[in-house]
Amino acid sequence: MRRYLIGRVLQAIGVLWAAFTLSFVVLYLLPGDPVELAASAAGPGSPVDAAAVAEMRARYGLDKPVWEQYWTALTHALHGDLGRSIQNGRTVTGTLGDALPSTLALTAFALVLAVLGGAGLALAASYTRRSWLRGLLTALPPIGASMPGFWLGLILLQVFSFRLKVAPAFGGHGFSGTVLPAITLAVPVGAVIAQVLYSSLTTTWRQPFVEVAFAKGASRWWVQVRHVLRPAAAPALTVTGLWVGTVLAGSVVTETVFSRPGIGRVTQEAVLNEDIPVVQGIVIFAALVFVTVNLLIDLAYPLLDPRVVRRDSGKERAHA
């Protein structure tokens, strides 16, 4: 168990380092000069003060060799310092901290809806014995997974905001202002969870221990919840962890469609202004969330299926 935990933690650290390094390299190679863009406050095409540009480069360390910029940024990031915005001089952590609560509330709500909706749909489809109902339920996930997020968001706005007027159209707060963006993010994720979980449930229903449970007099519902769901949940749990990054990325489009404040708006402004420290801070934050969620899922695997740890231990002994 200890080796399993150490291996997963080391993998998480490696992913974070790779995300930081790749984002630094990609952002450094991008065309354009963010310092000159920030220095030209009068607008595009206006003359730029060379002394002001040189002073800004020195202030942000952009006049140093690339390897020194990388090492300085990495060591500062390890201490929680992601630098300062080139556009407004604010710390990146402060900028993200102001935008984070709104985005976290949206993504957490969306993930809860996706897990509950997807799991409920898969459980109902695998539990029912009526073929027409099973066919209807299993046809819904492909439809949900194929819907573009921005299109679904616009449809929800048109129906529930402009026609029924039950939810604010733009910039809403609280439950009423979060439910439509959350549904927009949740539908494709919940559809994938439903597909994977239903497939896993169907396979698990065919295992011999299910017949043993029925032979002992257990009801169909008890067998599904007590014996089938637990081993079948691992693949769906993996998919949920992988889709956390997709939900965060989708929040950029969703928050733009619904005019919500959050990481999406910060990302949009940072990309338009070529604000490299802010963009890299967002990439690191997304990688940190992704790694943390997947690490927690990896640690939950032994609780669902103790064979995971035994399997890893067996591979290590075989290699030895």
Q: Mean pLDDT of successive 10-residue segments in the chain (320 residues)?
A: 74 86 81 65 55 72 80 86 81 86 86 91 89 90 84 86 80 77 89 91 87 86 85 82 76 79 82 82 85 78 60 48
Report the CATH number at residue 206: 1.10.3720.10
Within a domain: 109: yes
Within a domain: 84: no
Within a domain: 18: no
Number of domains in the chain: 1
Within a domain: 247: yes
Of 87, 57, 110, 106, residue with least CA distance to 281:
87
Within a domain: 320: no
Inter-CA distances, 22 with 17, 25, 110, 123, 250, Å? 9, 5, 29, 40, 21
Of 307, 296, 289, 210, residue with least CA distance to 246:
289
Q: Are 257 and 157 in contact (CB under 8 A)?
A: yes
User: Residue 215 CA to chain centroid, in angstroms?
Assistant: 43
Within a domain: 59: no
Q: Which residue has the tokens 């469609």?
A: 257
Residue 172, number of CB atoms within 10 A of its CB: 18
The parent domain of residue 215 ranges over 93-272
Q: Is the pTM of this model over 0.75?
A: no
What's the pLDDT score for residue 195?
92
| Euclidean distance between CA atoms 320 and 282, whole angstroms | 41
| Euclidean distance between CA atoms 117 and 33, whole angstroms | 46
What's the pLDDT score for residue 320?
45
Longest dimension (CA), the chain: 84
Of 248, 241, 250, residue with least CA distance to 292:
241
| Amino acid sitting at position 83 | G
Within a domain: 224: yes
Within a domain: 127: yes
